[in-house]
Amino acid sequence: MTLLTAAATADRVRSGSVTAVEATRDALQRIGPDAVNGWRVLRPDAALEEAAAVDARPDRYSLPLAGVPIAIKDNVAVSGHRMLDGVSASCGAGLPVEQSDHPVVKRLRAAGAVVVGLTRVPELCLWAMTDDAEAVTANPHRPGRTAGGSSGGSAAVVAAGHVALAHGNDGLGSLRGPAAACGVVTIKPGRGVVPAQLGPTDWFGMAENGPLTRTVEDAALALSVMAGRPELAEIGDGAGLRIGLGLNRPTPVTFTARAIVDAVRGAAGTLSGRGHSVRDVKVPYPATPLPLLARWAAAAAADADDIVARGANPALLQSRTRRHVALGRTVERRNLVRPADAAGIESALERFFAVQRIDVLVTPALARRPAEARAYNALPWAASAVPSLAYAPYPSLWNLVGWPAMTVPYRGEGVQLIARPGGEADLLAVAAELEV
């Protein structure tokens, strides 16, 4: 019943020392009654059947994720299940049962992974806290605080030791925020590295799929499968990288907790001690958050239209969702989602990385401790919007430009690492050096 890493589980299943069925049964026993409320759906019988099929595969001995029990965030298609994307069962009663897997799920299953269940998300994955009409997801790392959002269910089940690997995705920090909140590892790949296919617009190109794990090795392994790039599983030494330490505020109203600043400075000191060149830099954050806020609202409108078109009842969407969708309609009418805005910001960041000669940028992942765990779905829109913006302001810029970024825990806090497009291997190498 001891949780092994995904890499260790796959090694044992490939060698024949354990079976995929045994690994899956152990995971189901660890989950028990799910005290963290991270799972929306558990599929014990189907998972054990999947595991038996893995054991029977003639290529089991070469599968990178042979017999590894995993969780899938409930906003991508898993065959045989309704994809509710956080809406209530009554709201989503008219949604179809999915007949095929999302491409990322196909890749994970082809690699030998076993889908144990689907994890809880806030409605339409809009918020930085995870709760729905049935339950509030707890944070095993910080009791009484949210597990983050929108991949909070996936982060919670990894942090609780239910599984070593969970799928999630990230449109404005929805992998990195929950990872930092729950003390686990994640990587948001750069645009186009992993198939997105997240709603009708991929949140205007901001949303990406990625893994949540307890180790950097597992994150690299999972990313290599999701991306179809086996070389990403091999973590290099990353020797002699140029590291920028960016502790300036992303917004005038951001106030970062001293414990977080100290942890990020400590991480930079560790990297300096490993031979990297580290220097303080000032990140050129945009003067206005409008390009990000406009996409957040407009994405809600597009995703609401999509789920209603697929059969959800619009009258049963949460009031906070309907308010956010209404804002998105205003954004659409005023044509506030402008590609030129994102292009200008990316050009400024390219110049910044070039002039400062940075390979990897290090920043906080969160500004302060996560918001309180509570039933936000029953509260007014502002009760969800304000904390979503307040405690996790650092990650979203890198969604806007589509650059790779990850979070690794260090001294109990989340440290964010950012690189230019194609820099996933550098991020993994640096994260491995911060791992304790």
Residue with tokens 């994720």: 65
Which of 73, 88, 384, 388 is flagged as catalytic? Answer: 73
Which DSSP letter does residue 175 get?
T
Q: What is the DSSP string of 87-134?
A: --TTTTTTSPBPSS--HHHHHHHHTT-EEEEEE---GGG-SSS-B-SS
Active site includes 150? yes
**Known catalytic membership, residue 88:** no
- Tokens at 205, concatenated: 């190109």
Identify the active-site residue in 88, 150, 151, 396. 150
Q: Are strands 242-246 and 208-213 parallel, antiparallel or unpaired?
A: unpaired
What's the CA gap between 436 and 430, in Å, rounded? 12
Which tokens hold the place of 2? 């001891």
106 annotated active-site: no
**Rounded to 10 degrees, what is the CA torsion of 214, 399, 228, 64?**
0
Indicate left, alpha or beta for 61 from its phi (over 0: left) and psi (-120 to 50: alpha): alpha
Catalytic residue among 88, 174, 224, 396: 174
Contact 296, 128 (CB under 8 A): no
Instruction: Report the distance separating Cα 73 and Cα 197, nearest Å.
Output: 14
Token pair listed for 55? 């054991």
Given CA atoms 98, 102, 108, 112 in this order, what sign does their dihedral have?
positive
Residue 359's contacts (CB-CB under 8 Å, 6 or more residues apart) are 241, 242, 243, 419, 423, 426
* CA 19 – CA 38 distance, rounded (Å): 26
Closest among 213, 223, 151 to 8, alpha carbons compared = 213
Catalytic residues: 73, 150, 174
